[in-house]
Structure 1
Amino acid sequence: MGRKSRGIEPRQTIGIYCEGESECQYFNMLRQKYNAKNVRSQKLDIKSLNKSGKNLIIAANQHKKANKQSKAYVVFDRDIDNINKSIDEIRECQRLAERYNITILFSSINFEIWILMHYEPVMRSYTRRELYRKLSGEKYFDTDYEKFKGDSYRPYLFDKVTKAKANAEKLYKVNPKMEKDDPYTNIHRYLGEIFKVSVF
């Protein structure tokens, strides 16, 4: 039986539930990054549920209860080009997440807005196709990004989180509304809370 250190609280378990493999890979990279630096981070349970919106929140709540997690986050995106169609659905997701005490990490038009911020500021809207094309470029991933999705981000983004956070903060000042702003992300607002770090 393992010894308990006096005065040190056991680390709480946090669940990060993602709609896709890319998001899951990204948060696995962050888990490695902050544990490797001996930062006191929380033990994470990251699962890709291949669901989105309301279904993801409902499934995350079930997993949170079953795994006795103290906190859960869901990571999903708008992923449709007609924003007006998704506004009501996102508001419904916000209400549901609040009821279950789950935090939504959201990007519009998709998660790749956040990925692009590791390289440069993002202040204009992109389609999913435009983002994939841009990230495939020489200055970025230098490979077909659509085929890359789901692979490890570590070789590309490990040392760029500080830059992404600063770029996201600039965007958030002008686009703070999850349900209707595009581009939008709020991922940067929760990294410190999740990983218990202040230096990224």
Structure 2
Amino acid sequence: MPKPRGKQVEPFRPRFYIFCEGEKTEPNYITGYIEQKFPGTMLSPVRKTPKNTPVQLVEVAIEAKGKNPSGDKFWVVFDREAKHKYADALHAEARAKAKANDIRIAISNVCFEVWILLHFQPNVAPYTSYSDLRKRSALKTHIKGYDKGEKRLFSEAEISVARKNAKVMNHQTKAGANPAWNQPHQWNPYTNVYELLDALDKFGKKNIK
């Protein structure tokens, strides 16, 4: 008589968690990127949270990490914003907590639209706020009628241009900054969103069959 088969156990598959400050712009962009790069998968829907300050987002990620397997990845995405909104000390606190808990940060200074702008042109200009960037940059020319709810999908070619432009911009910004400044929220303009996309690519290729 054949032995009964034991219940098959599903192999553990790591997950990639992303928590965003913005309710529309960042989630729309990241979700669109995932859907284009890894269609038909559940690689990483952006997790919704009512928390939206840098420290709060990191704390949400830390809490989630404590409830999930050790192979999962955790990122938070937020903007520098104006100093009167989030003081330097709050950004420093968020980064220290993230580093202590192996949480990665994708930050744009001064706003996520700096990253969007780089899909179309190089940039070295600092901006004081999203409104300032929208008023003084060519973003509204590149994307007619651009607003925070934009759902435009970007091509691989455009994203490749943005990656290259971001690296050049960051290098130039840091080279011209006060030598005592050693954290991304102190560098304007700056964005490392491409590092999040690189991490998604690496994770997806490794974990999606």
Q: TM-score range by the shorter chain?
A: 0.7 to 0.9
Aligned equivalent of 2:19, options 13, 17, 20: 17
Deviation per CA, 1:73-116, whole angstroms, max 9, x where unpaired? 00001111569x73222211111001221001001111111111
Q: CA deviation at 1:49?
A: 2.6
Q: Please tell me whether the aligned partners of residues 18 and 77 of structure 2 are also in contact (alpha carbons under 8 angstroms).
A: yes
Distance 1:27 1:195 in 2: 12
Q: Which residue type is aligned with residue 25 of structure 1?
A: N
Distance in 2, Cα, partners of 1:87 & 1:81: 7
**Unmatched tracts of structure 2, length 5 or more:** 1-6, 175-182, 204-209
Q: How many pairs does the alignment contain? A: 184
8 Å CA contact 1:16, 1:75 repeated in 2 = yes
Q: In the TM superposition, what is the alpha-carbon distance from 1:193 to its structure 2 partner?
A: 1.8
Match of 2:194 among 175, 188, 198: 188
Correspondence 1:174 to 2:180: no
Q: Which residue of 2 aligns with 1:149?
A: 148
Matched with 2:117 is: 116
* Equivalence for 2:207: none
Look up the equivalent residue of 2:37 and give its one-letter code. Y
Q: 1:73 aligns with which of 69, 72, 75?
A: 75
Which 10-residue stretch deviates more, 91-100 or 122-131?
122-131
Whether contact under 8 Å (1:22, 1:151) holds in the other structure is: yes
Asked if the contact 1:25–1:152 (Cα under 8 Å) also holds between the matched residues in 2, the reply is yes
**2:44 is paired with a residue of what secondary structure?**
strand
Quote the Cα distance in structure 2 between the aligned partners of 1:49 and 1:151.
Answer: 20
> Paired residue for 1:107?
108
Query: Partner letter of residue 70 of structure 1?
Result: D
Deviation at 1:71, TM superposition (A): 1.0
User: Residue in 2 aligned with 1:26?
Assistant: 29
Q: CA deviation at 1:135?
A: 5.5
| CA contact 1:29–1:158 (8 Å) conserved in 2 | no
Partner residue of 1:132 out of 126, 131, 134: 134
> Is this contact kept in 2: 1:109–1:183, CA < 8 A?
yes
Q: What amino acid sits opposite 2:14 in the alignment?
A: Q
Distance in 2 (alpha carbons) for counterparts of 1:24 and 1:115:
13
CA contact under 8 A between 1:12 and 1:70: conserved in structure 2?
A: yes
- Aligned residue type for 1:151: E
Runs of 4+ in 1 over 3 A off after TM superposition: 1-4, 64-69, 133-136
Contact kept, 8 Å, 2:31 with 2:45, in 1: the verdict is no
The answer to whether the 8 A contact 1:57-1:74 is kept is yes
Partner Cα distance (1:132, 1:2) in 2: 55
| 5+ long unaligned stretches in structure 1 | none
Give the alignment's Cα RMSD to 1 decimal.
2.9
CA radius of gyration, larger in: 2
User: C-alpha displacement at 1:64, in angstroms?
Assistant: 3.3
